[in-house]
Amino acid sequence: MANWHSKETDDLFKAISQLNTIEECYDFFEDVCTIKEIMEIAQRLRVAKLLERGASYLAISKETGASTATISRVSKCLEYGNGGYRAAIRRLREEETDI
Rounded Cα gap, residues 77 and 71, in angstroms: 10
* Predicted pLDDT at 12: 97
* Predicted pLDDT at 36: 98
Domains of the chain: 21-98 (1.10.1270.10)
Exposed/middle/buried for residue 82 (C-beta within 10 Å: 0-12, 13-18, 19+): exposed
Rounded Cα gap, residues 14 and 85, in angstroms: 18
pLDDT surpasses 70 at 99 = no
Encode pLDDT of 18-67 as tens digits. Answer: 999 999 999 999 999 999 999 999 999 999 999 999 999 999 999 999 99
* Predicted pLDDT at 96: 85
Give the length of the chain. Answer: 99
Residue 69 is which amino acid?
A: A
Q: What is the pTM of this model?
A: 0.90
Number of H helices, E strands in the chain: 6, 0
